[in-house]
Structure 1
């Protein structure tokens, strides 16, 4: 009797899920569409479970299929990692990479870097999840996370990638009409465009200071706050990646620079005896892309959180 290997059909199934198509999966695997379809059908038969819904135009994953995929993806990554370790090919990134980052920073900064990384390393595929919540990397099977701002103690690995500078700025028209603030106390006399917490944080020498502010607009969107500042509605405090173009063009003017707060952009990933090249090289790739004039402490080595 023919022995069925437990891996048969798994690679084909995972590839179909990630490529959203039998045709694309077959192309990626160097197989015919019929071969891929037969392997997936045999896997479903062996499991006695439908994993995919197929129509003439689309492929979608069943609830059972999604659960099975979540278990299979890390197994395939582990197999790739084992093969790399044994064959001494640690310098070559291969495999599928799951990355998460905050929405706006991910869209404007991380996504362009990731696209260049994928072009440079075509044996890597990636899934970029943009989410402003603090994603549990281990529970949700992410290889790497990009985090912004102060980091709590963690059992994850950390690397500081770059400084993040928070500017207070306004349009030239606003400053011409209402004047330029020179001290933190001056903020009480100004219209401040604030996020969902009406507190701005500053660095006053060696001390961080929280200043309560108020104004005509409170909004959870940094893009909307920047637009309001550009229209002369008030002062805004935002990280540098929201403001770089507007500051460079003079559309916004930075004020209170002696109190500028600087924190950091971090890469974080699950601690492991063997971190695959697809992760370590992407971290280095992102860090190199984010290199800028150091107005904060320099990016450092990998750090294991205290947990």
Structure 2
């Protein structure tokens, strides 16, 4: 069978764009177009409807895509089967993680992992947005909190605790809130949300808070809390050291929500890959 143009055809069909397909394949848009045209001539059929704004499969194109996708999936499975015979993880890993948690924990662990496995290449992109792993070509994502995507494989790596806290100087000046309703008497240091999460009466609660300061930076909010400007709610990796040395005091502990999971998330066709398995197991051992 002549394989020329098959990969280009599948990528264009899935992205509905010659430009996006060329970026994924790391070739020029003109080359993608030439390969698709040659494929259509060879099959003597029109595979795509093309306009200046849209690319869509024809009926014949949809049928051909289903078969081509199955063939490429089979090739991927065959490659993974061979790779699984290797005792040493090797190859490229493209992954994503939340910005702050990634900077403080994941990237240093990746550096340690790569020092142990010199045949691994890692491309890590830090973002607080929920990235589509399949569309972006990612092998792995680190996520915190509740998981919504049931189509992915997931392994729990650890957990994090959310704290409400303030500096001793703030408490001395403005007092300690003992109930959730008392928060409206205090200056709450806000992030991107207007409500904080608590538990009460056996259920989860979202309590609307207000304040004179709003940052989309956890480090900025911690600094404000340390300087006595208000009360803050943040994950442990922002505030743990200050709680331990007494620069911040934990508040409303009886209303603290249960710890949230830290997860490794990856497409189902990656779960047998040695490089992914080794890395996920390593992260789980270090973060637990």
TM-score, shorter chain, exceeding 0.5 = yes
Distance 1:252 1:137 in 2: 38
What CA RMSD, in Å, does the superposition of the two structures yield over aligned residues?
2.6
Equivalent positions of 1:168-247 (< 5 A) are 168-204=164-200, 206-247=202-243
Q: Deviations over 1:8-31 (max 9, x none)?
A: xxxxxxxxxxxxxxxxxxxxxxxx
1:3 maps to none
Judging changes above 3 Å, is the alpha-carbon distance between structure 1 residues 271 and 94 closer, same or farther for their aligned structure 2 residues?
A: same
Q: Which runs of 5+ in 1 are unaligned?
A: 1-5, 7-61, 292-307
More helix, by proportion: 2
The equivalent position to 2:261 in structure 1, one of 259, 264, 267, is 264
Query: TM-score, normalized by length of structure 2?
Result: 0.72
2:156 maps to 160
Equivalent positions of 1:115-130 (< 5 A) are 115-130=111-126
SS in 1 for 2:244: helix
Judging changes above 3 Å, is the alpha-carbon distance between structure 1 residues 161 and 63 closer, same or farther for their aligned structure 2 residues?
A: closer
Alpha carbons 2:139, 2:270 under 8 Å: kept: no
Query: TM-score, normalized by length of structure 1?
Result: 0.68
Q: Following TM superposition, by how much is the alpha carbon of 1:83 offset from its aligned partner in structure 2, in angstroms?
A: 2.5
Equivalent positions of 1:273-288 (< 5 A) are 275-288=272-285
Distance 1:187 1:257 in 2: 14
2:9 maps to none
Distance 1:117 1:274 in 2: 18
2:248 maps to 252
Judging changes above 3 Å, is the alpha-carbon distance between structure 1 residues 78 and 127 closer, same or farther for their aligned structure 2 residues?
A: farther
The equivalent position to 1:69 in structure 2, one of 1, 26, 29, is 26
Alpha carbons 1:77, 1:95 under 8 Å: kept: no
Distance 2:274 2:174 in 1: 54
Q: Which runs of 5+ in 2 are unaligned?
A: 5-18, 28-71
Alpha carbons 1:77, 1:96 under 8 Å: kept: no
Moved over 6 A (4+): 62-65, 74-79
Aligned residues: 226
